[in-house]
Amino acid sequence: MRGKATLAAGLSLTLLAAAGFCRERSRPNIIVITADAMRADMGGFSGDGEVKTPHLDALAGQGVVFERAYTNITTTTPSHATIFSSLYPFQHRAYSNKARISDRIDTLFEIMRGAGWHTAAIVNMRWLNPEVSNIVQGVEELARCRHVRGAAATNRWVLPFLDRQRDGKKPFLLWVHYVDTHTPYRAPGKYARRYYPAGRDPRDPRFTSLAEAWKQFPAHHRDNEFIKRWLGGITDVDYVIGTNKGSVSWLDENVGRLIARLRKNGQWDNTIFLFTADHGESLGEHGLWFLHGGLFEPTARIPMILKAPGLPAGRRVETLVSLVDVMPTLLKMAAVPVPAAAQGEDLRPLIDGDVRQRVVFMEHAGAYLRALVTPSYKLIVHRRTRNIYPAYPIRKGRVELYDLAADAGEGKNLADEKPKLVARLRKLMGEIRRGAKVSFSAGDAELDDQTRAMLRSLGYTE
Ligand SMILES: [Zn+2]
C-alpha cells in the first residue's frame, strides 16, 4: 500500500514536473544585443553594398528589419536607460555617462525577473556597471566591465552562459553590449584594411585629410592622450573610416558565433532576438568626426533587426520606430504586462502591416538639443549654447528643419521658409513631453579614477 502510494505520488510529481517543464519551454528566451555606436547605413541588411555582414543579413532574412529606427538620445548611458525602461530622457533624467538612474524605475530586467525569467547582462563600459548607471537593476548574473572587453572576449563569457542555460528550468533574458563599433574602432587582423584600398599607406605623409579633420575635433578630443595614441601617425582619414566599417564586419562575425551557439544548443527557435544600437556615429558628416554629437541622421539612426517565434520572416518595416518601443515590444511577445509608464508601443501591429504615421522624439546629451522626426521632416531645436563642435555650434534658440525625403544629407535648413510647419512640429514636441506623466530624478554617480580614465579614453569629457 505504502509502496503504491509512493509510486502514485512519484508519478504525479513526474507528470507535474513534465507539465511545468513544457510550460517553461514555451516561454521564450530574450536576447538584446546593443552594438555601441553602430551606424544604420552599414551592412547588407541595410541596403549597403560595401560593408559585409552575412550573419546580420541572414538574421534579417529570418526576422524583421526596421528601416527607419532612431535612438531617443545619442549617448550611451542615457540611451540604454531608455531601452530598458521605455522612458524618454526627460523622464529618467540621465543626460550623460555620469548619470545614475533612480531605483524607482522599473527596468525590463526587474519586470522579467519578477515574471520568472533568469536575467543576465554583460556590459563593456565601466559607467554601465551598477554602482554608476544603475541601469542593470534586476540583473541576477552580471559580467561587469573592469577593462575594455572586445567582442571575442565578450563571447567567451556569453557562449558558456548560453550552454549553462540549455537545461535551465527558467527562460532567460540576456543583454549583450558590444563596443567594437565605438571609438577606438576595433577591426582586428584582416578587418582593419578590408575597406581600405590595397597597397595604400595610411601613414603616407602626403595625405592631409586626417589633419584637416583633426581641426574639427572638439577641443577635448584634439588634446586627448588616448585619441592621439589611437590615431597617432595616421594621415589618411579614409583609413579610420575603413576601420569603422571593418569593426562592423568583425561584430557581425561575433554575432554569427553567438547565433551558431544558440542553434547548436537548440535554443534558437525559442528565442526572441533583438539586434540594435544605442546610437549611431558621425564619420565626418557636418564636420562631426568619430563621435556621436548632434542629431543628424548618421548619429540618430540605428540598426534594428528583430527575430522571434511567430514573427514573419524577411519583413521590412518603413514606419518610424525608436528605442522607447523596445521594452513594450519584448514584453508583449513574452506575454508579460507592459507597465503603464512605458512611453513606447508594441511594434507587432507595424510588423503585421499597420501603416500608421508615427513621429520620433529625441534629445542630445546634456539636453542641448531636441528633435522631432516625422515621416518627411526633422526639426532640431537648440536649447542651450555650447561650443563643443567647431563645425557645428550649438546656439540657444536656433532652429533647423530638414526635408529628409528630398535632402537626406540635411544640408538645407528650411526653418525660415516654413514657419508654420516649424510651429506645428514644436507644438507636437511639447505635447509629447506633457503627455508623459511619470518622471524620476537622477543623480551624478561617484566615479573612480579608472572610470574617469576610461571616459577620457573613449573621447568623453568627465
Ligand atoms: Zn554608446
Residue 447, pLDDT score: 80
* DSSP 8-state assignment for residue 285: G
Q: Among residues of the chain, what percentage have pLDDT more than 70?
A: 94
Model pTM score: 0.93
Check whether 10 has a pLDDT greater than 80.
no
Q: Is 324:87 a contact under the CB 8 Å cutoff?
A: yes
Tell me the H-state helices in 88-172: 89-92, 108-114, 151-165
Residue 462, pLDDT score: 56
Residue 430: pLDDT band by 50, 70, 90 thresholds? very high
Provide the grid cell at 14: 513526474
The alpha carbon of 279 and the centre of ligand 1 are apart by a number of angstroms equal to 6
What does the CA dihedral 301, 307, 311, 316 come to, rounded to 10 degrees? 30
What does the CA dihedral 40, 219, 447, 84 come to, rounded to 10 degrees? -20
Residue 136, pLDDT score: 95
List, in sequence order, every beta strand (DSSP E) within 200-355: 271-276, 282-283, 289-291, 301-302, 304-307, 315-317, 321-322
The alpha carbon of 312 and the centre of ligand 1 are apart by a number of angstroms equal to 30
Amino acid at position 179, single letter? V
Architecture of domain 28-457: 3-Layer(aba) Sandwich (3.40)
The alpha carbon of 2 and the centre of ligand 1 are apart by a number of angstroms equal to 64
Check whether 93 has a pLDDT greater than 50.
yes
Distances 365 to 64, 75, 239, 285, 439 between C-alpha atoms, Å: 30, 6, 28, 18, 18
How, if at all, do strands 377-382 and 399-403 pair?
Answer: antiparallel
The alpha carbon of 391 and the centre of ligand 1 are apart by a number of angstroms equal to 22
